[in-house]
A and B are shown apart, each in its own frame.
Chain A
Amino acid sequence: MSALLEVEDLRVTFPTRSGPSEVVRGVSFTLGRERLGIVGESGSGKSQTGRAILGLTPPPGRATAARLAFDGIDLRNASPGQWRSLRGIRMSMVMQDPKFSLNPVMTIGRQLMEAAKRTAADRAEAKDRAMAMLEAVQIRDPARVFKAFPHELSGGMGQRAMIAMMLITEPDLLIADEPTSALDVTVQIEVLRILDRLVTDRGMGLIFISHDLRLVSSFCDRVLVMYAGRVVEEVKASALAQARHPYTQGLYGCLPRIEGSVRPLPTLQRDADWAL
């Protein structure tokens, strides 16, 4: 099976007053139709990695790579037209907080239709698909949500609508950037379950970006651990306990355990060498 996504030596640089600052420093990985988790603390470059794959590095930032290919298509010099035929149709992204990632003055329906129309033959078909998709993310009253504005929905509902919007064209690759971090804990699991089912059923590739190690390990096949813009370790999700890198071990050691409490609470030790 050929890889869906190949990333080699990906670097994202932002110019600052004190010279260019590299926030992603040579990330490499390949992705098949599998679920890959990227974990790391804030500022480790995990979100910028996801955005760079979609060509959405915010200016004045710049992304470079030795190889960045999606299904054999070189993304590094893709034209705006090529990007438009990929984004939304073959690759898409679910973002963190539906409060900000949905356009506040457009109804959910209109925003959904924008995505649906890209692959549907006509308006009627797009509308049918939008409704079906809202049902697929377990929204029980799709007609009502279709007409609602984002602020009229709860966080969980908004994020379902977002997932519906991003999966309606049945893309091959989905990047989920902290898709549940802004949600209540009770809703998180539900939204994740929906996401998981849709991704598995459609055989998509998934990059799941999170700071939550436990979530990632229970949800993904493989985990990349990022620290200071680099991948410090790649482990099988099931073998996280056997991780070799001290940073991963530290992260793992900090997870709260139900049986018995550890006092003092473990803290994360950082070594300046890891960032080199």
Chain B
Amino acid sequence: MTTADIEPEGRHGALPPWLLRLGRLLLSLVFTLFGLLLVTFVIGRVVPIDPVLASVGDRASASAYHAVYLKLGLDKPVWEQFLIYVNQVLHGNLGESVLTSRPVLDDIRDVFPATLELSTVAILLGTLVGIPAGVWAAVRQGRLSDQIVRILGLVGYSAPIFWLGLLGLLLFYAKLGWVSGPGRIDIAYEFDVTRVTGLMLVDCALEGQWPAFWNAVSHIMLPASLLGYYSMAYISRMTRSFMLQELGQEYIITARVKGVSEARIVWVHALRNAAVPLVTVVALSYGGLLQGAVLTETVFAWPGLGMYLTNSLGSADMNAVLGATLVIGAAFVTLNLLSDVLYTFLDPRVRRRG
């Protein structure tokens, strides 16, 4: 009876359930990415921008126009064009940027690490502050500290970030001089650091260039804090509501009956359960940041994806726009996959279902 009461293990034979689950997730990733390609391709066709005109200019002769028209394969049927597009993307060819006359992929390789670095520092700050703040607010529900967290969150969520950015620059850079100004690093250091990963902090640390490292830190601190503040606002609100939900569950009463300490009830019992939906919240916030915070990057002259994308849009550089969109989409889908994988580790019920 004892053994019959426990669900049988490994119903799928030799493969462990988590491996099957991972395989299924990867398969869905492939399909999603394919869908993404289709969407970017369609967007590229329906926008009222003539790709030939964009590359030859409006004073080109009819024969030059026609030559480029054929070169871009626009005379072929649409489905064939799509296959060519997919084939190119799979070979890492996102076309050439009209604006920079370089392959789009090279451009993105230059700008994406800047955004990645900024978003990663920001989401770390937002999570490390937001989760404890949300837990605290939930435990002290309705009291003054809850209200303070609520107001701070509301300000972070509703104040325009370019305004906060300018204020921050004025106060911490111009007046107090606590942080460095716009850009990723001072020009004095700019050519000392060889590019390995494109992440300034990592590259400096890899070479042991500590003065440059600290300079980069003081550059990233302000924009990352601002973006982090924004995600903190969201993460703390969600943490609070997930925690309130968990703290009302029966197993919390069980823990109280057992005489488990209040701190352990909150930080181990309840938070461990709230962590499951929180993973999605953090992953989605991170994905949002990875799209390139256009306003923040502009205010802080941060040479990231958001700035690249706006510049390309301004000059109707469709290859660059579509390429960047594809990268953003892929990053988003990958993050979702990662959060799904994390789910598997956090929730034993998901692990078992396979």
Contacts and interface: CB of A to CB of B under 8 A. Distances in A.
Given A80-B262, A101-B250, A151-B348, A54 B257 contact: yes
B351 to A, nearest CB: 9
Contacts of B346: 105
B259 interface: yes
B256 A56 contact: yes
Interface in B303-331: none
B47 interface: no
Q: Is the interface of B mostly helix, strand, loop or mixed?
A: helix
A5 to B, nearest CB: 16
B254 A102 contact: yes
B272 A165 contact: no
B251 A101 contact: yes
Contacts of A153: 5-6
A156 B2 CA distance: 10
Which size bracket describes the interface of A in this complex? 35 or more
B2 A151 contact: no
A85 B253 CA distance: 16
A156 B276 contact: no
A104 B256 contact: no
B352 A89 contact: no
B258 interface: yes
Contacts of A85: 259
Given A105-B347, A106-B272, A149-B349, A56 B260 contact: no
A144 interface: yes
Contacts of B1: 140
Given A103-B251, A105-B273, A93 B349 contact: no
A87 B259 contact: yes
A118 B2 contact: no
Interface in B209-247: none
Nearest to A55: B256
Nearest to B347: A105
A221 B276 CA distance: 46
Contacts of A51: 253
Contacts of A229: none
A95 interface: yes
A80 B261 CA distance: 10
B257 A56 contact: yes
Nearest to B3: A141
B259 A104 contact: no
A114 interface: yes
Contacts of A154: 5
A139 interface: yes
Contacts of B262: 80
A146 to B, nearest CB: 12
A125 B126 CA distance: 42
A101 B254 contact: yes
A84 B259 CA distance: 5
A157 interface: yes
Nearest to A107: B348
B61 interface: no
Given A151-B348, A156-B5, A89 B254 contact: no
A220 interface: no
A87 B7 CA distance: 33
Interface string A181-225: 000000000000000000000000000000000000000000000
B256 A87 contact: yes
Most buried by B among A114, A141, A156, A157: A114
A14 B257 CA distance: 21
A165 B257 CA distance: 10
B6 A144 contact: yes
Contacts of B258: 87-88, 92, 114-115, 118, 165-166
A102 B251 contact: yes
Contacts of A141: 2-3, 6
Contacts of B259: 83-89, 115, 118
A148 B351 CA distance: 13
Contact of A105 (B3, B256, B272, B352): B272
A104 B349 contact: yes
Contacts of B250: 95, 97, 100-101
Interface of B: 1-3, 5-7, 249-251, 253-262, 269, 272-273, 276, 346-349, 352
Given A56-B253, A95-B250, A105-B273, 6 more contacts: A87-B259, A89-B259, A103-B272, A114-B258, A115-B258, A149-B352
23 contacts: A56-B257, A84-B259, A84-B261, A87-B256, A88-B258, A92-B257, A100-B249, A100-B251, A101-B254, A103-B254, A103-B272, A105-B348, A114-B255, A114-B258, A140-B2, A144-B3, A148-B6, A152-B7, A153-B6, A157-B6, A162-B254, A165-B258, A166-B258
Interface of A: 51, 54, 56, 80, 83-89, 92-93, 95, 97, 100-106, 111, 114-115, 118, 139-141, 144-145, 148-149, 151-154, 156-157, 162, 165-166
